[in-house]
Each structure stands twice: as C-alpha cells, then as structure tokens.
Amino acid sequence: MEKFKLGQVVATQGALKELSREEISGALSRHASGDWGDLCKSDKKENEFALKEGFRILSAYKSGKGKKFWVITEADRSATTVLLPEEY
C-alpha cells in the first residue's frame, strides 16, 4: 500500500547501468510502501517523521549483486530519484 506519492521518477546513469528494471521497480514499490530498506533504526524513525511533516525521504537497498543504492523522494513529493551513493 502506497504511503505517499513518488512524483516524477528518475534514475541516474549509474543506477541505470548497475540495476535491473526489476530491481528499480521493486525498490520504488518498497520505498512508497514505507519499507525503508537497509537503514538503521534512527534513520527509519527520521523517515517516519519526514512522512508526517513533509520532509525528504531516503531509503537504501542492495541489488542482487550487492550494489548499494538509494531512493530519495523530495520533500514536496514532486520527484523521486534512484541513484548510487557515490552519485549524490
């Protein structure tokens, strides 16, 4: 169940190179449903606060090959970006 709107979804060149469409799609579904992935408890709590207060939301996942990547939704929910941490 979707907890918030993703807005326009984009992915960086690095993410498109490293991740399959299925991995990106799955991560977007998890992110929108409030499954923040591989974050510590305090970062997950921060996302819950951001969800209620309208701040930016970040989730972290790993690809099937073990590559870490992020999904970030902007505070105004206008856009969500899939990217590699080194592209931030």
Contact 78, 10 (CB under 8 A): no
CA 68 to chain centre: 11
Separation between Cα atoms, residue 3 and residue 74, nearest integer Å: 14
Residue 3 lies in a domain: no
Does residue 66 have a pLDDT over 90? yes
Total-model pTM? 0.97
Residue 51 lies in a domain: yes
Q: For residue range 41-55, what is the model confidence (pLDDT) as tens digits?
A: 999 999 999 999 999
Q: For residue range 6-37, what is the model confidence (pLDDT) as tens digits?
A: 999 999 999 999 999 999 999 999 999 999 99
Q: How many domains does the chain have?
A: 1
- Domain limits at 66? 8-87
